[in-house]
Structure 1
Amino acid sequence: MRSSQLLSFIAINVGVTYSLAYPRDSQHRQNRAAYFQDNGSAGNSIVALQISSSDGTLSNPVRTSTGGEGLAGLLAISQDSVVVDDHYLFTVNAGDDTFSLFTISGDDPEHPKLAGKPLPTLGQTPVSVAYSPELQTACVLNSGSTAGISCFSISPTAPHPREVSAPLPKSSSTPPPRPLVIGADITFNPSSTALFATIANGTQAGTIYAYPIKNGHISTTPVISSFPTLSFTFSLNFLDDSDTHLLVTNPHLNSSGAAFVSVSYPSLEITLAKTITIPGQTASCWAAYAPQFDTVYVMDAARPKITALNPETGDVKGQVSFPAAAAGGLDSRVDRDWLYMLTSDSNDPKINVFEIVGGTELLKQVQSLDIFQQVGKIPDLMGMAIWPN
């Protein structure tokens, strides 16, 4: 494989901060919405759906332009392409290399409002986004031939870029090839003292980049940890509000499927704590954590099966199959007692809704929403976020 060159942009300098006052009465707590993007190359859109407060089902989809362009075919290469936090929604536009910020009204969460214009991400093929309310900063992971991280100071009116350089491997082309050498996920730790990004590499050791944060500033020098047995480090999932305990998915064919890794502070060195073998795994990419049920769910993009894990021991609690023409499950989120999951068949996409029932049954499917029937044919379903999160 061609050796990777180190190129990137990372933007961070937390400047003026802003605060928003939003009512927190029972009516606003009842209004809930789920979001994904259609990844349309002729014009990307966020699709919002109303969530029933009683049974968790989805209805009344509404499309809102992101102001940018998607890139069809990216549906299976990243986690966190759509993120909701506070009253903000963040998303990436991989087709024109931009980042969009929306504000969400508690009275009408199905109609997010674009805040300013989409901003260039200072790289190519942005695939994932992370937000820190403490820092009021959002960071985007670029994965094309100009790879790296760009960050934005967030306000209710518009994002503002900050620039500073830092290394990340680049892809050999834009859009990235498959098998992938690509950034897959980016996230802040719960305390916002470090920023983490995964590099998914199907032929070499998987890699996690960790950037220290001191006095509100993100370092330009990452701590790089490699894992020879995790050849395809994909999604990053902090568990139990812990800065040290992460689940990393490893969807490479014939791999174990997932692992626990542990972060040491202040060094930010990351070590493999436990390899988790997911029975029959083919492409275990996405994970969704349900702390109230003491369970983390791992979706397999290549088969219609969800694996439930103990978030402390990694033991497999069980596996749940779902009837679908789709190959498997993609982006997923937990909201209260329900799990929301996109399916991976671009010709017949669904959003499957499962009630989390626990015990040996684990999940009970309560809805399979036909997206094409609801909003017409769209290029790709990508990302999944819930408000309030």
Structure 2
Amino acid sequence: MLNNMFLPSLLLLVPTVLSAPFDIWHGHQGDGTAKAAYFLDNNPSGSAIICLRIGFDGIVNDPVRTSTGGYGAIGMNLTGFPNAVDPLISQGSVTVNGNLLLTVNAGSNTVALLHIDEQDPCQLTLVGPPADTLGEFPISVTYSEQLKTACVLNGGTKAGVSCFNVDPDHGLRTAGPLRSLGSAIDETTPPTGPPGSSSEILFNPTSSAVIVSIKGSGPPGYIVAFPVEHNQVSTAGVFNQVSDIKLDFAAIFINRTSLFLVDPSFGASTLEINSDYTVTEKVHTVISNQSAVCWANYDVATNTAYAIDAGQPVVYTLDASTGVLMGNFTADGTIGGLFDSAIGGRYMYSLALVNGVVVFDIREKKQIQFLNLTGFGERQGYTGMALWP
């Protein structure tokens, strides 16, 4: 019996949020360097990037909204209702590299490129018009600085991978056709999940392949690799299934060839992406007390991998080299579970089940802030998390 494996998309009622107002704090440039966190408001009435200014002590404040030039859309849960949280059933809907931010417009079937102002990183400007993703319901985007290429995972009825040449001054230009995911996915628009839905797209650290994770629906899920040949992403994928990984959810590379992946049916796995783009499972870590570990992160400074639980406010820590579970730390129980997360220095920023952002000091293994966003907007569309610089 799986431990609440469908919890992130079955939640129809979000608990009452904390009633505290926004924290007021204006020292966000106290160390001389502006910093920011970004997430997507995937709103069917008009999507926007939400920017939070980060202080020298890791505290976030002053949310700022910038249009993405398109519309959002909400994925469906297994009871046939739109998700109350986790609207794209995925990780990676926002990515930042240098002064570029990329995000998806799931309802418009487009991907948007925005420029980040170095002096004020909450000042975002669209670069060119959002580009057609050639598919339906784009959910995740990745970027290779080496190739100056972005790729998008479409998770709807017309599923597949689309790629774009990225010009920081003029915008996005389509690079090749929609790359098929074949029989690995059979979804609707909007998709229903988590089982059977797409999860994430990532360039590997050497930009020699694009990696896609897809959740299974009964049988094992898929890891699909699209090799890069002559600086172009191949149209032919290498399809892999690992027998004991059922719900291939969020993933993150922990070195050039090792992919740390979380699966709410058991815990976490470390996968080796071989030179021929086949996949071998190196470590299989059962996290017995987890409820729904669906998000993944990695801290290179301590070589620690994180499995983030959407069913309860718990972050599990694992030795990235061995996969050994080392412990966990928790947030205030009133905020529910934890979703999209990003690490900057000693701080982790996570979307909470309730309407707000949790900040952890991961060295001290404790929560240091909950920023209540109740007065700013609706929780349902919030997804993704990325940091600058």
How far 1:70 moved relative to its partner?
0.9
- Structure 1 residue aligned with 2:40: 37
Displacement after TM superposition at 1:27 (Å)? 10
2:164 to 152, 156, 175: 152
Are positions 1:62 and 2:64 aligned together? yes
SS at match of 2:335: coil
**What does 1:110-121 align with in structure 2 at a 5 Å threshold?**
110-121=122-133
Aligned to 1:319: 328
SS state at 2:301 partner: helix
Alignment correspondent of 2:135: 123
Corresponding residue number in structure 2 for 1:237: 252
The residue type paired with residue 386 of structure 1 is L
Of 283, 297, 304 in structure 1, the residue corresponding to residue 306 of structure 2 is: 297
Report deviation, 1:110: 0.6
Output aligned runs, 1:1-389, within 5 Å: 30-53=33-56, 55-72=57-74, 73=83, 74-75=86-87, 77-156=89-168, 157-168=170-181, 169-239=184-254, 242-251=255-264, 255-265=265-275, 267-345=276-354, 349-357=355-363, 362-373=364-375, 375-377=376-378, 379-388=380-389
- 5+ residue gaps, structure 1: 1-25
1:365 Cα offset (Å): 0.9
Find the aligned partners of 1:353 and 1:94 in 2 and give their Cα distance.
27
Aligned residues: 348
| Structure 2 unaligned blocks of 5 or more | 1-28, 75-82
Q: 1:371 to 1:151 in 2, by over 3 A?
A: same
Contact 2:100 2:116 in 1 (8 A): yes
Alignment correspondent of 1:12:
none
Provide the rounded CA distance (Å) in 2 between the counterparts of 1:62 and 1:316.
37
Provide the secondary structure at the position in 2 that maps to 1:341: strand
Q: Is the 8 A contact 1:260 1:274 kept in 2?
A: yes
**In structure 2, what is the Cα distance between the partners aligned to 1:294 and 1:190?**
16
- Identity percentage of aligned residues: 36
Aligned to 2:26: none
Give the conservation status (yes or no) of the 8 Å contact 1:40–1:378: no
The offset of 1:323, in angstroms, is 1.1
2:210 and 2:228 in contact (8 A); partners too: yes
Cα distance change on mapping 1:142 and 1:80 into 2, 3 Å = same
For 1:231, what is the secondary structure of its paired residue? Answer: coil
Q: TM-score, normalised by structure 1?
A: 0.86
Change (3 A) 1:377 1:202: same
Q: Which whole-Å CA distance do the structure 2 matches of 1:123 and 1:167 have between them?
A: 10
Structure 1 residue 165 displacement after superposition: 4.3
Displacement, 1:331?
0.4
- Match in the other structure for 1:21: none
Quote the offset at 1:29 in angstroms.
7.1
Give secondary structure in 1 for the equivalent of 2:384.
strand
Q: Cα distance, 1:167 vs. partner? A: 2.3
CA distance in 2 between partners of 1:28 and 1:101 (Å): 29
How many angstroms apart in 1 are the aligned matches of 2:261 and 2:102?
Answer: 22
* Structure 1 residue 28 displacement after superposition: 10
Superposed CA RMSD: 1.7
Displacement of 1:172 in angstroms is 3.3
**Structure 1, 334-343 or 289-298: larger mean CA deviation:** 289-298
Query: Could you give the per-residue CA deviations for residues 209-241 of structure 1, whole angstroms, max 9, x where no partner exists?
Result: 0111122011111111101210011112110xx
What SS does the corresponding residue of 2:225 show, helix, strand or coil?
Answer: strand
Deviation string 1:67-114 (CA, Å, 9 cap, x unpaired) is: 111113343610100110111000011112111110111111011111
How far 1:163 sits from its partner (Å)? 2.5
**Preserved CA contact (<8 Å) 1:28 1:106:** no
CA displacement, residues 276-314 of structure 1 (integer Å, 9 cap, x when unaligned): 111312211111111112211111111111101111011
